[in-house]
Amino acid sequence: MEKKLGVYICTGCSIGDSLDVEALNKVAGNEYSAPVCKNHGAFCSDEGVQMIKDDIADGGINTIVVAACSPRVMYDTFDFGEERITERVNLREHVVWCQPPNDEDTQMMAEDYLRMGIVKAQKRELPEAHIEEIDRTILVVGGGITGMKAALDASWANHKVVLVEKSGQLGGFARKMYKQYPKSASFDTLQDPEYASLVQQVEADDNIEVILSATMESITGQPGLYTAKIAKEGGTTEERKIGTIIQAAGWQPYEAEKLGHLGYGTSPNVITNVKMEEIASSNNGTIKRPSDGKVAKNVVFIQCAGSRDPEHLPYCSSVCCMVSLKQAEYVRKSDPDATATILYKDMRTPGQYEHYYKKAQADEGIFLTKGEILSVTGGTDGNVIVEVDNTLLGEKVKIEADLLVLATGMKPATALTMDEDELEKAIEEGKAAQEAGTLDKPFREEDVGKPPILSLDYRRGGELPHLKYGFPDSHYICFPYETQRTGIYAAGAVRAPLDTAMSRTDAAGAVLKAIQCLELTSQGKAVHPRAGDQTFPEFFLNRCTQCKRCTEECPFGTLDEDEKGTPKPNPYRCRRCGVCMGACPERIISFKDYSVDLIASVLRAIEVPEEEDEKPRVLCFVCENDAYPAIDMAGLKRLQYNPAVRFIPLRCLGSTNLVWIADSLSSGMDGIILIGCKHGDDYQCHFIKGSELANYRLGKVQETLERLQLESDRIQIHQLSINEYEKVPEIVDQMMEIIDDVGQNPFKGF
């Protein structure tokens, strides 16, 4: 596209009163030879917009620079279509609202922002669509409640499904259940297990292909273009073309063998809550104890058996309180003279489940008490004695149980999965430790780990990456289906400890995301959080040195590698954050509207005064998602800050390329600030690790600076939350103090 530039400088909202607009016009006209440069008292008015539209229609203007308010407001007013480039220069929030009016420094700031905006508009290119014919079949891995519901949900939205289940039948864990606890109003009646009707519906659904006794051999490709190899019993392999993937591999009960301190192994009458379901199912509701088949009379439940325990599962398994209340009802129905005692840390029956708890409290045969388990020991006749402290019944109580149920929790199926090489290494280490005699108990390979369930053929590993405790998620509060692999969504108990009601909901949510990903991918557009972005990273591979930084640092596992280590892009896996662009020392990765050269050109557009003018300059790279709005809000609150600073928004701080730091210093910038999102365990970065990576890269640059005898303090990195707008002036001031201290950049003017 041959660009024809139009610059529109608004004089409303105190811009005209605070700045020399004629001088700004000269910047556009003289420095950048803009063929059109106009002013208006409110470009956002109908008249103002029309003025721009007329220039587009009559004057062929196709590159529009609107110097007015923040791009976060009036976005629809200044939308001139995808076939044109529109660049917004934030003279309002970032200049006149935070600087004294009619001041030389304020004017310099405004002129710089105008230059930066014009250069950006000149450098930006329109995206070129990359559209391929995609497959819209959804692969669901796991045939439990979540997997079956996901398959049905996808089918009901007109999608084909391939459902792969490792066992010989559908139903998952729910098959073991005798009854389910109430999940709808009035929350007081046990329900028959729901798996049977789901199995029936799945089997009758023409959109769903069920492959049983099968595991994933490999998944190659990218959203819309996956090839799934499915290994079936007997050694045969099936291949399917797949669009997106739902990981619904479910959960496993926490290992009861590890709960010796709660009496497991003391007597056959110490069982898990899963075993309790099996007993109830096999005797049609009569609770017979394993040792002698007698109907249980005094059943004790120990809650949090392995959960909420730093030695075992540190989290709460969410379902066990309701499960034990349900099983207490089994006991009471099995024999009306029998009693059930539930020993808990806290009864967790959130929301409407409280009604069922109330019902149990009203039953005189169910005893509920908080308590700390002191010991569980064998008694006579297969009974066990539970000693409890700090109960609501008094201190140190001994309770004799003829059946003891341990309410064991849930572990995601992915908790133990490891990649092949990790697995091999762990097994080797385990065997070596066994030989060295440093283990307490014999080494078992199956304790180490299991191969990945999805078997993704990704450079960065075969499974969805997980955060804490093996649950594969990322931003589970605001965006629960955010995984670190585009087009692959986790649902059900593999994502979080969820009951069947929540799992069904979760299946629907994950399916929506899977369908949405197909929709956007089919148009060549990015998914969340840059949904709709049509640019892709382009690699100038002739200059690639195979350093592998891009493939390693991409938070979404977008890039694979060939044997030499050259990156192999999978464009539809890409989320357009630009972390690869920031990582590349050769600067060979670019987007049409975002590149190392583009930002370098923008920063070079800033006029740096001579040393004797004593006007230092500070460049500040900011995350556009959080820091940039915070700076807007600082403007809205009319917070004033030092006029030396110039902000450059980045897609993510992780896209910061170190060459910009070098360029800034060589162009005479006295200080450089990077403001990104909070990182660490509770990271806020929308691209997982962007701000953390920037921090890491910066560490390297500071070392280099010291070698050049440039003060490394000239570069500062901050973590800022979006609501911490009050800190913006402090952050700038702090840098100004450093510059006061170390002096201006000695390279200025070179």
Task: Considering only residues 225 through 254, tell me which ones interact with other proteins, judged by CB under 8 A.
Answer: none
Binding of residue 302 to other proteins (CB under 8 A): no
Sequence-ordered list of residues with C-beta below 8 angstroms from that of 185, at least 6 positions apart, any chain? 352
To the nearest whole angstrom, how small is the minimum distance from the Cβ of residue 632 to other proteins? 9
- Please pick, from the candidates 721, 730, 737, 740, the single residue that binds other proteins as defined by CB under 8 A: 721
Question: Is the Cα torsion angle 723, 729, 734, 738 positive or negative in sign?
Answer: positive
- Of 618, 608, 508, 604, the C-alpha closest to 108 is 608
Counted residue by residue, the chain has a size of 750
Query: Rule CB under 8 A: which of 524-553 touch other proteins?
Result: 527-529, 531-532
CB of 89 to other proteins, least distance (A): 16
Does 73 participate in binding other proteins (rule CB under 8 A)? yes
Coil vs helix vs strand at 407: strand
Pick the piece of the chain touching other proteins (CB under 8 A) from 22-30, 255-263, 399-407, 498-506: 498-506
CA–CA separation, 238 and 74 (whole Å): 53
Alpha helices, DSSP H only, in 227-285?
Answer: 273-282
Cβ proximity to other proteins: between 77 and 601 the closer is: 77
Near other proteins by CB under 8 A, which window of 271-279, 417-425, 513-521, 592-600? Answer: 513-521
Per-residue string for binding with other proteins, 678-697, x by CB under 8 A?
x---x-x-x-----------
Of 269, 339, 483, 625, the residue at the interface with other proteins (CB under 8 A) is: 625
Q: Is 515 in the site for other proteins (CB under 8 A)?
A: yes
Pick out residues in 327-366 that bind other proteins (CB under 8 A). 346-355, 358
Under the criterion CB under 8 A, does residue 725 sit at the interface with other proteins?
Answer: yes
Rule CB under 8 A: is residue 208 a binding residue for other proteins?
Answer: no
* Identity of the amino acid at 136: R
Site map 442..481 versus other proteins, x via CB under 8 A? --------------------------xx-x---xxxxxxx
Position 160 contacts other proteins (CB under 8 A): no
- Is residue 636 close enough to count as binding other proteins by CB under 8 A? yes
Residue 201 or 286: which CB sits closer to other proteins?
201
**Looking only at residues 577 through 616 of this chain, which bind other proteins when binding is defined by CB under 8 A?**
none
Task: Name the phi and psi angles at 8, rounded to 5.
Answer: -125, 110
Residue 74 interacting with other proteins (CB under 8 A)? yes
Total residues interacting with other proteins, rule: CB under 8 A: 89
Minimum gap (Å) between residue 72 Cβ and other proteins:
7
Q: State the minimum distance, in angstroms, from the CB of residue 540 to other proteins.
A: 28
In whole angstroms, give the CA distance from residue 159 to residue 207: 7
Min dist CB 25 to other proteins, Å, is 21
Is residue 38 within 8 Å of 47, Cβ to Cβ? Answer: no
Q: How many CB atoms lie within 10 A of CB 112?
A: 18
* For other proteins, the closer CB: 603 or 623: 623
The correct pick among 87, 112, 506, 553 for binding other proteins (CB under 8 A) is: 506
Question: At its nearest, how many Å lie between other proteins and the CB of residue 604?
Answer: 28
Q: How far is the CB of 29 from other proteins (least distance, A)?
A: 26
Q: How far is the CB of 43 from other proteins (least distance, A)?
A: 10
Binding status of residue 724 toward other proteins by CB under 8 A? yes
Q: How far is the CB of 648 from other proteins (least distance, A)?
A: 18
Q: Does 186 sit behind a cis peptide bond, omega within 30 degrees of 0 on the bond before it?
A: yes
Cα–Cα distance measured from residue 180 to residue 334, given in angstroms and rounded to the nearest whole number: 16
CB of 586 to other proteins, least distance (A): 31
Determine if 126 is a binding residue for other proteins (CB under 8 A).
no
CA distance 272 to 278: 10
Which residues from 31-60 bind other proteins, rule CB under 8 A?
Answer: 41-42, 44-45
Q: At what angle do helices 320-334 and 273-282 cross, to 10 degrees?
A: 30
Q: Report the C-alpha gap between 28 and 63 in whole angstroms.
A: 13
Interface positions, 388-417, toward other proteins (CB under 8 A): 390-392
- Other C-beta atoms closer than 10 Å to the C-beta of 419 total 18
User: Is residue 101 a contact residue for other proteins (CB under 8 A)?
Assistant: no
The alpha carbon dihedral of 214, 215, 218, 220 has a sign of positive
Task: Select the span of 69-77, 438-446, 566-574, 602-610 touching other proteins (CB under 8 A).
Answer: 69-77
**DSSP 8-class letter at 543:** G
> Amino acid letter at 477?
I
Nearest distance, CB of residue 321 and other proteins, angstroms:
9
Q: Which x/- pattern over 262-301 shows residues binding other proteins (rule: CB under 8 A)?
A: ----------------------------------------
Span of 56-64, 107-115, 661-669, 717-725 interacting with other proteins by CB under 8 A: 717-725
Phi and psi, residue 428, nearest 5°: -60, -45
Name residues whose C-beta falls within 8 Å of residue 27's C-beta, 6 or more positions apart in sequence: 111, 114, 115, 118
157 binding other proteins? (CB under 8 A): yes
Chosen residue from 297, 333, 370, 615 binding other proteins by CB under 8 A: 370
Per the DSSP assignment, residues forming a β-bridge with 339 are 298
Give the count of beta carbons closer than 10 Å to the beta carbon of residue 537: 26
> With the CA atoms of 587, 592, 595 and 599 taken in that order, what torsion angle do they form, in degrees rounded to the nearest 10?
150
CA end-to-end span of the chain: 36
Q: Which residue has the tokens 């098959």?
A: 175
Residue 201 lies near other proteins (rule: CB under 8 A): no
140 versus 603: smaller Cβ distance to other proteins: 140
- Taking the CB of residue 381, how many other CB atoms lie within 10 A of it? 11
Other Cβ atoms within 10 Å of 5 Cβ, number? 21
Residue 151 CB, nearest distance to other proteins (Å)? 13
Q: How far is the CB of 453 from other proteins (least distance, A)?
A: 21
> Are β-strands 372-378 and 384-389 bridged in parallel, bridged antiparallel, or unpaired?
antiparallel
Give yes or no for residue 14 binding other proteins (CB under 8 A): yes
CB within 8 A of 609, min separation 6: which ones? 108, 615, 617
Q: How many helices and strands (H and E) does the chain possess?
A: 19, 30
> CB of 445: closest distance to other proteins in angstroms?
29
For helices 690-707 and 658-666, give the axis angle rounded to 10 degrees.
40
Task: Please list every residue from 642 through 681 that binds other proteins, using CB under 8 A.
Answer: 677-678
- Distance, CA of 683 to CA of 664 (rounded, Å): 28
